[in-house]
Amino acid sequence: QQQVKQSPQSLIVQKGGISIINCAYENTAFDYFPWYQQFPGKGPALLIAIRPDVSEKKEGRFTISFNKSAKQFSLHIMDSQPGDSATYFCAASIGNRDDKIIFGKGTRLHILP
Amino acid sequence: DVKVTQSSRYLVKRTGEKVFLECVQDMDHENMFWYRQDPGLGLRLIYFSYDVKMKEKGDIPEGYSVSREKKERFSLILESASTNQTSMYLCASSLIEAGGPKFFGPGTRLTVL
């Protein structure tokens, strides 16, 4: 299966809270899992990415948690800020093939001030 | 500051018209991509290119063609626009074997009447 299933579709979090977005996949050949952030009126931008040889990757307030056995990965945004309000896409690809990347449907995140 | 630029932010065309969408990147990236983004469907790959004058079909190439005469420029062509091609079109670029696009342009919102 080539799908990447992302949830929830939308999320509202209070300022200072933790935002959690989840993704699941079926194809065990996937070996690269990026997250993209898209602000209204802008194109997506690569935010953070992980490979399956590690279970967690942290960059500032953004953390990817990866569970290889469950075939799930998630994005955690700590101390969420109104400026984090955006649409987030998870994705998965195989063997560094840029054309084979599969995107999730996206999560619209809104951080309440 | 690295950039992917697209020739138009908004475009309105009539059914049957030939439409050109231009994309330019200034990062000397080998790979360039055209995606369309539709609500509920996420990002879908139309065409990509790994080198000058090279092009490969993505997941939804029907009704589209592309041209890459120079490394920095990748054009998407709608030979005869139809209403079901009304969408947000995103250009992206990356280095070879990056696992996925790294930089996206701001998008072109195309409306076909």
Q: What is the pLDDT along chain A (113 residues), one digit of tens a residue?
A: 568 999 999 999 999 999 999 999 999 989 899 999 999 988 999 999 999 889 999 999 999 999 999 999 999 999 999 999 999 999 998 876 777 789 999 999 999 99
What's the rounded Cα separation, in Å, for the pair A26 and B49? 28
Residue B71: which region, alpha, beta or left (left: phi > 0; alpha: psi -120 to 50)? alpha
- In B, which residues are within 8 Å of A34 by CB distance? 99-100
Question: CB-based contact (8 Å) between B107 and chain A?
Answer: yes
pLDDT classification of B1: cutoffs 50, 70, 90: low
* Residue B101 scores a pLDDT above 90: no
- In B, which residues are within 8 Å of A97 by CB distance? 97, 99
- Residue B95 or residue B105, greater confidence: B105
**CB-closest option in A93, A98, A106 to B42:** A106
Name the minimum distance, in Å, from the CA of A61 to any CA of chain B.
Answer: 20
Give me the percent of chain B exceeding a pLDDT of 70: 96
A36 to chain B: nearest residue by CA?
B102
Q: What is the pLDDT of residue A79?
A: 98
| Helix/strand/coil percentages in chain A, nearest 5 | 5, 55, 40
Question: CB-based contact (8 Å) between B113 and chain A?
Answer: no
Q: What is the pLDDT of residue B14?
A: 97
Best-predicted range by mean pLDDT (A86-100, B73-87, B89-103): B73-87
